[in-house]
Structures are given as structure tokens and as C-alpha cells.
Amino acid sequence: MSKTVPVTLNVNGVEHHLDAEPRLLLVHALRDHLGLTGTHVGCDTSNCGACTIHMDGKSVKSCTVLAVQADGVALTTIEGMASENELHPLQEAFWNNHGLQC
Ligand code: FES
């Protein structure tokens, strides 16, 4: 059994507490532990950018960040970009392209 560490992820203004293996990638924490599947895994080379989120307002590829590195940091995913009942232009672009960009 692997050792886990407590991690607090502040995602879209909501705190989530989880016990994570130190090797857990942030993208997998978001998708598999928090159910935020708007952040995608599009490659295994850190080139595509499908996993991009904001960490303290700066864009990062969440497949290159460990969940433990995001402990206590303000994270924004695509789910957190909408205001009221309107889609953010980025969400609208994803919608228009079926979540894919050619
Ligand atoms: S999944 Fe492709 S850059 Fe992160």
C-alpha cells in the first residue's frame, strides 16, 4: 500500500480535502478524485495543452504538476469559468468544437 499525504485543493472557490499519493498528478486529482472532467488528458508528452488550468491566475499544464504542489493554491478549471448562466467564451469555443481543437 502506498503512503498518502493530506492535500487541500481549492478548485473554483471550493476546498476539497483528499489523501493523495505524492506521485498523483494534478490532472488525475481533478478528474478522478474531484470529478472535474472538463480538464482533459490529451497526450502523454506534455505537449497538447488539453489539461491547462489556472494556478493562482497563471496557466499551467496540470499534467506537469503534482497534486501536492497545488496544496492551498487557488485553482480554476474550465468548469469555474462561467458567470451566472452564460458560458465563458472559452467554454463556448469548446462547445462549438465538441471539446476538441484541431
Ligand atoms: S495532457 Fe497534453 S499537455 Fe497535459
Judge contact between 98 and 40, C-beta under 8 A.
no
Measured in Å, residue 40 CA sits from the centre of ligand 1 at 8
Determine the pLDDT at residue 102: 45
Measured in Å, residue 24 CA sits from the centre of ligand 1 at 15
Averaged over 9-13, what is the pLDDT?
97
Averaged over 79-98, what is the pLDDT?
84
The residue that leads in pLDDT, 102 or 78, is 78
State how far the Cα of 44 lies from the Cα of 41, in Å rounded to an integer: 8
- Using a 6 Å CB cutoff, which residues line ligand 1? 41-43, 46-51, 61, 63
pTM value is: 0.88
- pLDDT, tens digit (0-9, with 9 covering 90-100), for 15-63: 999 999 999 999 999 999 999 999 999 999 999 999 999 999 999 999 9
Distances (CA, A) of 76 to 30, 59, 81: 11, 9, 7
Q: Which atom of ligand 1 is nearest to the CA of 43?
A: 2
Q: Which atom of ligand 1 is nearest to the CA of 40?
A: 1
Domains of the chain: 5-96 (3.10.20.30)
Determine the pLDDT at residue 100: 59
pLDDT band for position 78 (cuts 50, 70, 90): very high
